[in-house]
Structure 1
Amino acid sequence: MSAAPVPLRRDPTHGYIAGVCSGFAARLGIDPMLIRIGFVLTLAAGGVGIPLYIIGWALIPAEGPERPVVSRLLNRRDTWLVAAGMGCLTLAAVLVLRNWGLWFGDKIIWPAVIAAAGGALIWRQSQLAPEAKAQRSALPREAVNRAGAGAALVIGGALLFLSLNDSLATARDVVLPVAVVLVAVTIILAPWWIRLVRGLAAERAARIRSQERAEVAAHLHDSVLQTLALVQKRADDPREVAALARRQERELRAWLNNTRPAGTATLAGALEAAAAEVEGDHHVPIEVVTVGDGPLDERSAALVAAAREALVNASKFAGPEPISLYAEVEDGRVEVFIRDRGPGFDPETSPGDRRGVRDSIIGRMERHGGRATVHSNPGNGTEVELVLEP
């Protein structure tokens, strides 16, 4: 029994423009480069491949549940409103020009109208500035659709102007040699360009994976490993050990579900909650002073995590003396200082396997565009400075 044929779908993920050639290649079971070369060769036959590609982009749906571009545009209410408004304005302008005797002839007006319609689409797209994250993530494909339609109208208006004014043949004599040279250069440089693009994509993916591993390692160090150290320290108190295990379970569940505890929606609230948590775990008094406040976004949450790690280190090594945390937020700039009166240490001689200062404080701040500075000398206490620039 033969397998069901692969449905014809555009493949924008593996395509260079709209994924039409990749879709045809997947349907036929051949290399997409062969289809691309075929479309390029049609430039020498009057450029028939260009309208065919545009028709394929408009009528062939992309992979997934998305409908074809034409179907989506025709079913959108704002598309009809914009088209009706542009049509009414164009008709009014034409009637006014004819009535005033300012008609420049069909050879000029109608190509100009078509080009103006395409320019309006492009300008309308450039003025869109959605603020919601979901809108921002959906913007690129709609931007390509509208900008592509606008560019097609502008090019069509220009070609119509040349055709009506008997200049298309002359322009073709100039454009054809240039197109042939560009095609030859593209064929020569395409392998190196594709290799460069793939190398950059692989490097970016590796960098993202490395950052994600560093974030997971830092979080596990700050939560699980610290709790295990407390469990070992209080192994003679079963109730305290059970309480620590339950609290760590809640924290891990909240982290996996990407939820925040109540009362930590702002930077100041999150710093106070972290200080209270460390004080309850290590029984060392922590004085918190905050000046100003701000929302708790991804960068400031990383700062809170680094400050918490600095408080834990101070609670473990500075003795029973109080620890102070001072935070100041002004014009988007955040500064946090954690000071203790402990024995201090030399950051340069810290063992390489100790991840607290190097990864959970300094590395975490650097990954989020901030900086962390540790000021400490043996016998003079320690101060950790955390800074986030706007």
Structure 2
Amino acid sequence: MATAAPTRPVLRRDPVHGVVAGVCAGLSERLGINPLALRVCFIAGAVLGGLGAVLYGLLWLVVPAGPGEAPHSRRAGAQLAAGVGLLVLAGLLSLRELGLWFSDAIVWPTVLAATGGALLWRLQRQGEQRPAPATGAGAPAAEAPSRADVAAGVYNGGFGIALVLGAILLFLQSNGALGPLRDVVLAVVVIGLGLGLILAPFLWRLGRNLAEERSARIRSQERAEVAAHLHDSVLQTLALVQKRADDPRAVATLARQQERELRAWLWDPQAPAADAGLAAALRAAAAEVEEAHGVPIEVVTVGDVAMADGPATVLAAAREALTNAAKFAGDAGPVALYAEAAPERVQVFVRDRGPGFDLAAVPADRRGVRDSIIGRMERHGGRAAIAPAPGGGTEVELVLEEAA
């Protein structure tokens, strides 16, 4: 089925969006052309012989206004301004024909500048006459300007600025001053391009040298920091190992301690101790027990929670379990600590490779495990379980719900 071709709107003046009578605004809607270009053409025609003013006046009289015509006061003001402008233009053209004329190079730039200045002053006066917004609680709110008024103000202001700038350029061109200015601008641009071509290789090389020097300085600082840390930790530990070479257990303890320090330094060398959570506290407790009893302790932590009453209870119970494992099962091999920490649940396992442990066989007057581990966890809403570990040894499980 054939579709009807879109029809163009009927030619109507648009006083709502127009500057004078809405002729250019109506023509732009009908022809699809920017109204600013049409206004420039009408002004140029009026300046170069008056044909633009005559044509604008004829269109004003012949073309009817659109349905959205501006209010009476606004339309009357626009018509008055247009009438005054046409009278002034007619008077100037008459004086020009009679010979009572200064010069086209002076009069027409002055007319354009005066027109643009009048538009700008009109916008300024409208802004001063607009009522200020009410500030009192019971005062009625001032009516905000519509979008059409704002757009018209911006458009008229831009058109006035364009007229003033055009008057300046026309005056310079008519008096032969635009040519020297153009020569000066061209000379500055050419000299700038030439200097850029001359200095570009040197500036490029300077930038690369600065980048390489900065990279070398950063690498040098990193090497110095690594060397200082190795001197303060690894070399000192090696010296102690040489002195205690006849004590294999002490050597293993020193090596284990140094390994732990190196891992902590490599993983998070800037970690502040004041903000350490349960995971860091468990590693610190394992290091203390390992150093005190000479038994290697392997620590693996997943997740972390901030230290509070609940995590502190888990930490104390885990430290007691590590101490018992190091005391009674340290000869059988390393002790393992595995912890999973989250705000909703904390779970810690301490496993050794000793001969095993039966809680029921412990006499009733021995309250260490019952009070320090099981009782401590139960008092804070947690639980502790002690059972044989798979493959031999003992496993202590500590669980605390809602640790955060």
TM-score normalised according to structure 2 size:
0.31
- Higher Rg of the two aligned structures: 2
